[in-house]
Amino acid sequence: MKGIFIMTENNSSKKTTRPLRRTRITEPDLSDLAINHKTDTMVYALGGLGEVGKNMYCVEHDDEIIIVDCGVLFPEDALLGVDYVIPDYSYLVKNQNKIAAMVITHGHEDHIGGIPFFLKTIRLKQIYAPRFAKALIEKKLEEHRLTRVCKITEINSESSIKTKHFSIGFFNVVHSIPDALGVLINTPNGRIVETGDFKFDMTPVGTNADFQKMAYIGQVGVSLLMSDSTNSSVPGSSISEKTVARAIMEQMRKTPGRMIVSTFASNVLRLNQILEAAVACNRKVAVFGRSMENVCEIGKKMGVIQIPDSSFISGN
């Protein structure tokens, strides 16, 4: 019987003081499963399942593997001296000739942060990434001196990728970074949807979600849904980013003197709201932190951040 088989990872709790930590993967016992590696489709997570970070999912059929995302996990307090935790790529090292493509859903570190370490270990011909994620990946590879190792192709919601066994499409989702995508993978045994990170926001800052395309995919039928579930157990719904923007503006207006705002550099749209509110209130902006500076630089180049250079001052 043909089918889609799902396998999961098993993380080791062993402590280490190395600056880089790989999770250990226990290969599943498949002796009781009549898997036909020629006709069945296998899906497995090398990271990101049951955790926030280290997202990396693989779809394999016969002699082809499609990888979705390649992130890092920021270490827990017990992992002193460890900068990042990355997936164990051992299986992909042994089967790297099967890798047809790596597809990126968006540009957050837990989805792209592992790419330099992956490319130092495994040969990869091509990465497909949305526009903003592509710019962040290129900056990251430049820092690691890996700019010529792999071709990066820009994709959007209208893009399609065709390989020997798979056809891949995309749809827009709303997230805190521009150009976030969900992924539809058509396999010989059914359709797989990987949502990427998303939230439902009817009045987003940026691109609207492709609700019509999502509805159509649902009508056609999905064999496997791999969905973001962060905070899904929390009752209620997320507030709109435009509501947040109004609150930021209100604070900017009523706060006298200097104002210090902390936020994740990866939350690009929120960062832009803060900058726009500062300019509207005739404030100057000093940006601190290498990640924040990189995101501001890339955001300005790509038109996501549109405040004038004269509004920035040195933080030194």
- List, for residues 77-133, the tens digit of each pLDDT value: 788 888 889 999 999 999 999 999 999 999 999 999 999 999 999 999 899 999 999
Is the per-residue pLDDT at 192 higher than 80?
Answer: yes
Does 19 score more than 70 pLDDT? Answer: no
Q: Where are the beta strands (DSSP E) in 54-134?
A: 56-61, 64-68, 84-86, 99-103, 126-130
Residue 24 or residue 138, greater confidence? 138
The per-residue pLDDT for range 223-267, each reduced to its tens digit, is 999 998 888 888 988 888 889 999 999 999 999 989 999 988 888
pLDDT tens, residue by residue, 263-285: 888 889 999 999 999 999 999 99
- Reported as a pLDDT band with limits 50, 70 and 90, residue 13 is very low
CA distance 292 to 16: 29
Q: 4-226 in CATH: which number?
A: 3.60.15.10
Q: Is 16 a residue whose pLDDT tops 50?
A: no
Confidence of residue 22 (pLDDT cuts 50, 70, 90): low
DSSP code for 309 = G
Instruction: Assign domain 241-311 to a CATH class.
Output: alpha beta
Residue 111 one-letter amino acid: H
Mean pLDDT confidence for 151-176: 97
**Where along the chain do its domains lie?**
4-226, 241-311
Instruction: Tell me whether domains 4-226 and 241-311 share a fold.
Output: no
Binned at pLDDT 50, 70 and 90, residue 17 comes out as: very low
Q: How far apart are CA 92 and CA 121, in angstroms?
A: 10
Is residue 43 packed enough to be buried (19+ CB in 10 Å), middle (13-18) or exposed (0-12)? buried
Does the pLDDT value for residue 188 go beyond 60?
Answer: yes
Q: Between 9 and 304, whose confidence is greater?
A: 304
Percent of the chain exceeding pLDDT 90 equals 65
Q: How far is CA 18 from CA 40, 70, 85, 194, 217, in A?
A: 38, 20, 10, 32, 44
The confidence score (pLDDT) of residue 21 equals: 58
